[in-house]
Amino acid sequence: MEDRLHILMYRAFHGQRAMLRPVREALGLGPGQPKILLFLHADGPASQRAIADYFHIDPGTVSRMMEPLLRNGFITQTQSPDDRRVNLIELTEKGRHAAEAWDEACRKAESLMLSGFSSDEVKAFIGVLSRVVDNLGDLSDE
């Protein structure tokens, strides 16, 4: 059973999550919230819909993850100048600091996970995993 892809992906995901959980908790973030901060840090202000679409998750899930981020000062929410029905989510200084700290912790975790791999192996692995994500994205859009 060890060589089944879904089991290996499950174990890798949970191992990474266990490694990063103390950092997430030290930053005062809940499950799923760091990815929102990283998205906003990379792309700037975005709508809740854009965040949900990018991660292939329900907008209601994004809304529930955003509530504590708003309450704890990681993000702000303002009305879009282009469409009054849309709110734009933006990082605060506290949110930028948390996103940068999370990104650094993820880079360290990646370094550990990929230790002993050649740069060609890392590039190939990223390519294969990107294709898996694309395939799953196609399924979630149906």
- Tell me the pLDDT tens digit for each residue of 75-95: 999 887 887 788 899 999 999
Domain total of the chain: 1
Judge whether 120 lies within some domain.
no
Judge whether 132 lies within some domain.
no
- Tell me the pLDDT tens digit for each residue of 109-126: 999 999 999 999 999 999
Which CATH number is 18's domain given? 1.10.10.10
Judge whether 32 lies within some domain.
yes
Judge whether 57 lies within some domain.
yes
Is the pTM higher than 0.75? The answer reads: yes
- Tell me the pLDDT tens digit for each residue of 42-60: 998 999 999 999 988 888 9
Burial class (CB in 10 A: 0-12, 13-18, 19+), 1: exposed
Judge whether 139 lies within some domain.
no
